[in-house]
Structure 1
Amino acid sequence: MTHSTAAILVAAPASGQGKTTVAAALARLHARAGRRVRAFKCGPDFLDPHWLAIASGHPVHNLDLWMTGEADARARLHAAAGEADLIVVEGVMGLFDGQPSAADLAQRFGLPVLAVIDASAMAGTFGALAFGLRHFRAGLPWAGVLANRVAGERHAQMLQDALGEGAPDWLGAVMRDAAFSLPERHLGLTVASELPDALARLDAAADALATTPLGAMDSAALARWTVIFDAPEPAPHIGRPLAGRTVAIARDAACCFIYPANLDTLRSLGAELAFFSPLADEPLPPCDAVWLPGGYPELHAAALSAAQRCRAGLAAHLQAGKPVWAECGGMLLLMDTLRPHDGSTHRMWGLLPGEAALQPRLVALGPQQLALPAGTLRGHTFHHSRTTSPLAPAGHTEPPRGGPGEALYRHGALRASYFHAWFASSPAATASLFLEEPAP
């Protein structure tokens, strides 16, 4: 059975143009009007989905033709179309950047593209840039163009005039305003839940968008962007190998890089989930396995260093031979020492030999896959730190198009890597992370 609904992909010519703000404002505007909105993020990303989730009022999943796969993306879009009046998909980087790109996703599923362009330092060139984005690739579904960070009404008129006679692609201008800027830190946007005024910022952005032709569109006008989503093929079922087992998951401001789809996958495998906060030094819940996701341990190194009750529970868990899977920031938490950007040194939990130090520049970014005996997990890497360890890596991840991979460390029942896994890419391999007892 096919489902259909209005859908739009919010893209830009480059990162930093304001597409997250516009995508979240669009979702918030229509959610406030009582419409059912579902939002997605194109590509690997933990941070933008936090803002989209607040704006739409629903969990936000990722879509990527390589990491999540076409079948997974089709299933999620089809399900959303069956219950939504509007689907908003935020792109990644520039419209044509990456392999696959946001443009690839738009063409694969017929998603009309809204181009958001930071016009703060241009006038006539705005028209050339908009023309290029629309016509660079034949057959790209198109919605229109929105000028962002505009200086005033006169500037907006110049930008509209630059599009040519009639300006058929013009969807308006959003003025520059600090009231709805979304703050950033070294890995991207600040997590929305950390800001007490997050919703107020989104409401301010939605109010600004409401004054544009894009923001003035009602349900009837949105119908011109109706997309038909085909029903997916049934996904292979591997049973419930984690039934009767509890997986404890670290979740707080230091361990916040958690895909909602990963939690869904663990539940579909039969696992009971129990959450705890290392930052609050909560005791490890009774469990059969532990997942330490990534996040910002470097911002909370002193508090984590002092979290000895939580550390002792995890040490006893490992001593009992129970599995632990640690990703990126979750791995740094376990090492002997951690040096944040300020140059200080903190003793961490000493459960994985080695040390980590934050670097002034991004160290690694890109898609990766991890081959395990039970299957191959797809995912990505994105980190500003470097680690050194006396342990020899037990293996490495592999990028899909060649280049360096990330080390996989094994230390007793612990497995750790900078690799962020998308669990739904191989439920069987995911189950093995929380079932198998790694070799010493």
Structure 2
Amino acid sequence: MVAAVASGQGKTTVTAALARSLVRAGQRVRVFKCGPDFIDPMLLERACGAPVHTLDLWMAGLDECRRRLADAAREADVVLVEGVMGLYDGTPSAADLARTFDIPVLAVIDAAAMAQTAGAVAQGLRDYGPVHLAGVVANRVASTGHAQMIAASLRDIPLFGTLPRQPEALPERHLGLVLPGELPRLDALLDELADALQLDERAWQALPLLLPLLLPNALPAPISAPLLAGRTIAVARDAAFAFLYPANLDTLRALGAQLAFFSPLADEGVPTGADAVYLPGGYPELHAAALSGAAGWQASIAAAFSAGLPILAECGGMMALADELTDPDGRRWPMAGLLPGVVRMQARLAGLGPQALDTEAGPLRGHTFHYSRLETPLAPAGHTVRHPAGTPGEAVYRHGSLTASYFHGYFASNPAATAALFTPVAP
């Protein structure tokens, strides 16, 4: 596990550099992301060449995490897990995940403004839990002498590797890193990071070969009934609708659904023959002009709504269905108009954290993370529940065949509840 004392220390950069370095050395690498994140996994997928799944003991659940790790351990030489925020942040935290599966931790320390204090930080990260701290990767190291001071301060903790200050960083925006498709030099940048990563081969070889209780002869099947057999679900997927857990698509397919992808940004309509529509989150506010002018897309989603097709719109998907969207520059754009109301972007974070949607089939777990607000005359049909506080979370709107909310569901947490969202309600 690649973890740190806080966000912004360089976890994603180090994980991507390590993954790309190992892949170039001929290793089969699988990478996971701890916590509910969409953008880091896209970048890490480019670094390792394989889908990056979520590990979260609450949202995904213990069995799902064990199953995913078992599958990766069967097919890969190296499994990396990028932590979330600080090592001990959250309920559950990355440290909880590391202890549950006895995963060694590499602590990334941004050493740009420190030297010997790195040892105190590393020992605190190790002992507070404690966790099995295998070593430290020092980021933004200025020189060989700087690295030597850090190494001496660590005492009995190995300096696993160093990464010097980089002339080009991974760019960010309000919801995290820029999408990989927007970075024409991404592969070159990943190769440069891999070249710059100085890894202590002896420390790497000293890591134990871990096959903890991950490989029982038969793990329970996550889905037993094909509740969506024979149904085709149209899934929006482009730069405006990019926040898709790979596990969500896996769950829909395991439920028996056929998936048909389309791009509203390219003015592609809902595919013919679709029985339901899934509009995931993303960055509609950055593509408001294109979505506003996409007459074909707007007509097709209106027709699907009029025909009573179940439509699930999460966060950015919901924003694109409102009457109007005010973008970050204050410009107002007409949207598809299926959901009465207007969406306004704001500089201040409007929602963040794990939540669950109560359904007749039990809770569907997930999270929320957004910088906009919906102003609508509709009364919510209900609210999600914040974890662990138990207080009301995001509003959930039901308007005709449309279910819309800022809530992002993790479908594998409750396949039966997921199937119900894409099944027409009897009149």
Q: Which of 405, 422, 426 matches 1:434?
A: 422
Which has the higher mean CA deviation after the structures are superposed, 233-242 or 223-232? 223-232
Partner of 1:199: 187
The alpha carbon displacement at 1:194 in A equals: 1.7
Equivalent residue, structure 2, for 1:141: 132
- In structure 1, what residue type is equivalent to 2:158? D
Query: CA deviation digits over 1:286-333, x for unaligned, max 9?
Result: 200000000000000011000111111111111111110000000000
Among 330, 336, 350, the alignment partner of 1:343 is 330
Partner of 1:334: 321
Report the equivalent of 1:253. 239
Q: Residue 358 of structure 2: SS of its match in structure 1? A: strand
Q: Is the CA contact 1:331–1:418 (under 8 Å) kept in the aligned structure 2? A: yes
1:264 is aligned to 2:253: no
In structure 1, C-alpha distance between the alignment counterparts of 2:167 and 2:211, rounded to whole Å = 34
Q: Is the 8 A contact 2:160 2:203 kept in 1?
A: no
Q: CA 1:52 to 1:222, structure 2 compared with 1: closer, same or farther past 3 Å?
A: farther
3-state secondary structure, aligned to 1:391? coil
- Shift, 1:137, TM fit: 1.7
Deviations 1:394-420, CA, capped at 9 Å, x for gaps = 011001222341000011000100000
How far apart are residue 363 of structure 1 and its match? 1.0
Letter in 1 for 2:143: G
Q: How does 1:4-19 map to 2 (within 5 A)?
A: 9-19=1-11
Contact map agreement 1:398 1:404 (CA 8 A) in 2 = yes
Show the counterpart of 2:68.
Answer: 76
- The unaligned stretches of length 5 or more in structure 2 are none
Distance 1:172 1:260 in 2: 31
Tell me, in whole angstroms, the C-alpha distance in 2 between the residues paired with 1:79 and 1:24: 21
CA distance in 2, matches of 1:125, 1:217: 21
SS in 2 for 1:67: coil
Q: Distance in 2 between matches of 1:289 and 1:29?
A: 42
Could you tell me how far 1:235 is from its partner in structure 2?
Answer: 3.0
Q: Distance in 1 between matches of 2:160 and 2:222?
A: 43
Residue equivalent to 1:240:
226
Shift of 1:131: 1.1
Structure 1: tracts of 5 or more residues without a match: 1-8
Quick one: distance in 2 between partners of 1:26 and 1:256?
Answer: 25
Identity %: 59
The counterpart of 2:177, out of the listed 189, 199, 209, is 189
Contact kept in structure 1, 2:341 and 2:375, CA below 8 Å: yes
Partner Cα distance (2:211, 2:88) in 1: 21
TM-score by length of 2: 0.96
Q: Secondary structure of 1:66's match?
A: coil
1:415-438 CA-partner distances (Å, limit 9, x unpaired): 100000000011100100110338
**Partners of 2:177 and 2:303 in 1: how far apart?**
36
The aligned counterpart of 1:174 is 163
Provide closer, same or farther for how the CA distance between residues 107 and 182 of structure 1 changes in structure 2, counting only shifts above 3 A: same
SS of aligned partner of 2:75: coil
**CA RMSD, Structure 1 to Structure 2 (Å):** 1.5
Matches within 5 A, 1:6-405: 9-138=1-130, 140-164=131-155, 167-179=156-168, 181-209=169-197, 211-213=198-200, 221=205, 224-228=208-212, 229-231=214-216, 233-235=219-221, 237-286=223-272, 287-401=274-388, 402-405=390-393
Contact 2:142 2:164 (C-alpha < 8 Å) held by counterparts:
yes
Q: Distance in 2 between matches of 1:178 and 1:329?
A: 33
Mapped contact 2:106–2:134 kept (Cα < 8 A): yes
SS of equivalent to 2:287: helix
CA distance in 2, matches of 1:89, 1:65: 13
Query: 1:76 Cα deviation (Å)?
Result: 0.4
Change (3 A) 1:438 1:100: farther
1:355-381 deviation digits (Å, cap 9, x = unpaired):
111111111110010111233210000
Distance in 2, Cα, partners of 1:438 & 1:191? 40
Superposed displacement of residue 66, structure 1:
0.1
SS in 1 for 2:190: helix
Cα displacement (A) at 1:275: 0.6
- Return the letter of the residue paired with 1:205: L
Cα separation, 1, equivalents of 2:221 and 2:242: 28
State the 1:252 CA deviation: 0.3
